[in-house]
Amino acid sequence: MPFKIDITQIQKAALRSIPLTFRLTSLPHESHALLDRILEAYLVELGQERILEPLSYCLKELIMNAQKAHVKRLYFEEKGLDILNEEDYEKGMPDFRRESAERLEHWLELLKEKSLVIGVTFHTTAGSLTIAVRNRTELTPREQTRIFDR
């Protein structure tokens, strides 16, 4: 999110119950403070600023998970593996974590090139805040099972 924000516009969106969506391909560390300012503006409007820190942590975790899902698909594609095929999945996963960390810049560049976007939507309604983090990556059956098990 390498851009400046107008807090007054965010406050207006919160007051008027207008959904506000930010689109990003990744969440670089330098954007964390900006994301916190946006979240804080919403929470102040709702009188809930005391939950900024834990909610900020959860939001960043969700964004990073969405980014990781995109990177995983790119990784499997680059390796010529089908993420939906159990055998290919077993073959690809052992090195995924290491390679995704070691070649992070490569993956971040590919995310931009392929326009793999994560949408973060803030929306206030009736005194509550809904935050949605979405990507266009469909969960594999194995990923769904893992999520439900947790």
- pLDDT at residue 85 in the model: 93
- How confident is residue 7, by pLDDT bands cut at 50, 70 and 90? confident
Angle at 149 between CA 108 and CA 147, to 5 degrees: 25
- pLDDT at residue 1 in the model: 44
What 3-state DSSP class applies to 141?
helix
How does the average pLDDT of the chain come out, rounded?
92
The residues near 132 (Cβ < 8 Å, ≥ 6 apart) are 119, 120, 121, 123
**Is the pTM of the predicted complex or chain greater than 0.75?**
yes
Asked if pLDDT for residue 10 goes beyond 60, the answer is: yes
* Token couple for 7: 């807090």
- How confident is residue 31, by pLDDT bands cut at 50, 70 and 90? confident
Q: What percent of the chain has pLDDT over 70?
A: 98
The 10s digit of each residue's pLDDT in 42-88 is 999 999 999 999 999 999 999 999 999 999 999 999 999 999 999 99
13 near 38, Cβ under 8 Å? no
- pLDDT at residue 3 in the model: 61
Give the number of C-alpha atoms closer than 13 A to the C-alpha of residue 147, restricted to the C-beta side. 9
